């Protein structure tokens, strides 16, 4: 039977990108699922743009907006339209050009995003609402500089800051108390492992806010939300809702395939998801880290936020398994970068889908929980 251990002397951070395209299984096809989450940020972001944002004194200078970790789909474009419409409510902005910069990793499907852009004013056939703003794509990591100094006026990042910029080396060191044996991530790991994750997370948060402080002009606005925890104690407990945490099903599937000889023990021990949900005080600490370039307008923790307006429904176990397999799409490039062949990845996905189908009755009885605990913030550049 084919095996793969995916082990290397050192481990680069696994590739994590949203599934491209627009068909079944793509991020675009799932984007409506995340639409309700954005409503947590919009009121405070709108207030900050209308009442805290300082527009450039030159009445002809364009306004620059950036979406860090933009991905693709309706939510990306919906946020851009929301920001533009809000900016245009200001008399000192209404006649200015606005440029929307969509920034993400080079692996993001920018081509699909560009195809989804509505036509620019005067270039459409009248069948859809035209856009009044310019657009471009910027590849790179938001844990480094992506724009010139003081060039941005409004920026957001959504569901990104819980991704690590690198994995802690100690979790792969068999002689270290932080060695993450038998686990695929931070949740449920030893306290030493979880603290190693949390330390890298705190370093990444400081990098992010330091870079945005360079890029956002004085009086500019930065809004974000990410998966989070209420306090910094016990980072090994990442759960916002056990029924919603699909990583547990991934770990279960991996252990089954190890027990059956399809995958090796080393493949599980060497694979680690680059995820660590920051606590609200860790975020505040990173934002206020000297020289503390941002003023906090809003910083809230929201516990178990439902993704959907009403409980999710599925016709049967097969339909639920198919939906969860679509959610699994983010994992495929990570498994490939870990050394799993396409055949093994297909086998992994099929077993994962089967396990989800087996849990259908339990999940149905619980109302198919799909909740997230979030940290939400709006900042103003000093």
Q: For residue 247, give both structure tokens.
A: 């990583």
Q: For residue 251, give both structure tokens.
A: 């770990």
- Indicate the pLDDT class of residue 3, thresholds 50, 70 and 90: very low
Q: For the chain, where are the alpha helices, taking DSSP H only?
A: 27-30, 35-38, 42-51, 74-87, 110-116, 191-215, 247-259, 265-270, 280-287, 317-327, 331-337, 342-358, 360-365
Find the range with the poorest average confidence among 59-63, 239-243, 311-315: 239-243
pTM (predicted TM-score):
0.89
Q: What is the pLDDT of residues 315-338, one digit of tens each?
A: 899 998 888 888 787 788 888 888
5 in Cβ contact with 338 (< 8 Å):
no
Please, what is the Cα angle at 287 between 274 and 228, to 5 degrees?
40
249 in Cβ contact with 352 (< 8 Å):
yes
Find the range with the poorest average confidence among 193-207, 344-358, 364-378: 364-378
Please check the confidence at residue 31 and state whether its pLDDT lies above 70.
no
C-alpha 340/C-alpha 8 separation (Å) is: 13
Q: What is the CATH number of domain 242-272+313-364?
A: 1.10.1200
17 in Cβ contact with 358 (< 8 Å):
no
C-alpha 185/C-alpha 110 separation (Å) is: 29
Domain boundaries, the chain: 27-238+275-311+367-381, 242-272+313-364
C-alpha 4/C-alpha 28 separation (Å) is: 31
Quote the pLDDT of residue 59.
83
Q: What is the pLDDT of residues 259-303, one digit of tens each?
A: 999 999 999 999 999 999 999 999 999 999 999 999 999 999 998
**Selecting from 3.40.50.150, 3.40.190.290, 3.40.50.261, 3.90.440.10, what CATH number does the domain 27-238+275-311+367-381 have?**
3.40.50.150
- What is the three-state SS of 28-93? HHHHHHHHHHHCCCHHHHHHHHHHCCCCCCCCCCCEEEEEECCCCCHHHHHHHHHHHHHHCCCCCC
Count CA atoms closer than 13 A to 18's CA, side-chain side: 26
């Amino acid at each position: 039977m084919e095996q793969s251990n995916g082990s290397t002397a050192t481990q680069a951070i696994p590739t994590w990108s949203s599934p491209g395209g627009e068909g079944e299984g793509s991020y675009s096809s799932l984007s409506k699922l995340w639409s309700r989450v954005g409503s947590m940020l919009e009121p405070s972001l709108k207030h900050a743009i209308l009442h805290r944002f300082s527009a450039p004194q030159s009445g002809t200078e364009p306004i620059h907006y950036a979406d860090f970790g933009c991905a693709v789909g309706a939510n990306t474009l919906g946020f851009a339209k929301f920001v533009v419409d809000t900016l245009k409510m200001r008399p000192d902005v209404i006649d200015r050009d606005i440029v929307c910069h969509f920034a993400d990793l080079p692996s993001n499907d920018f081509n699909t995003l560009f195809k989804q852009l509505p036509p620019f004013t005067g270039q459409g056939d009248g069948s859809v609402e035209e856009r009044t703003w310019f657009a471009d794509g910027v590849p790179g990591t938001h844990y480094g500089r992506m724009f010139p100094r003081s060039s941005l006026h409004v920026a957001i990042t959504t569901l990104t800051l819980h991704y690590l910029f690198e994995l802690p080396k100690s979790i792969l060191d068999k002689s270290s108390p932080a060695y993450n044996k038998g686990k695929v991530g931070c949740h449920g790991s030893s306290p030493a492992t979880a603290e190693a994750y949390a330390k890298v997370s705190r370093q990444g948060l400081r990098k992010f806010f330091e870079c945005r402080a360079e890029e956002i002009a004085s009086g500019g606005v930065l809004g974000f939300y990410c998966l989070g925890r209420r306090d910094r104690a016990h980072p090994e407990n990442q759960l916002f809702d056990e029924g919603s945490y699909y990583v547990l099903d991934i770990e279960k599937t991996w252990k089954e395939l190890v027990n059956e000889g399809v995958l090796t023990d080393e493949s599980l021990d060497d694979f680690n998801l680059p995820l660590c949900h920051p606590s609200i005080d860790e975020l505040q600490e990173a934002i206020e880290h000297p020289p503390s370039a941002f003023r906090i307008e809003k910083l809230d923790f929201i516990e178990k936020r439902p993704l959907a307006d009403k409980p999710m429904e599925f016709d049967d176990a097969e339909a639920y398994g198919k939906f969860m397999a679509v959610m699994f799409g983010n994992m495929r490039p990570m498994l490939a970068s870990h050394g799993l062949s396409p055949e093994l990845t297909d086998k992994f996905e099929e077993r994962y889908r089967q396990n989800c189908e087996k849990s259908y009755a339990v999940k149905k009885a619980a109302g198919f929980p799909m909740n997230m605990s979030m940290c939400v913030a709006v900042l103003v550049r000093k």
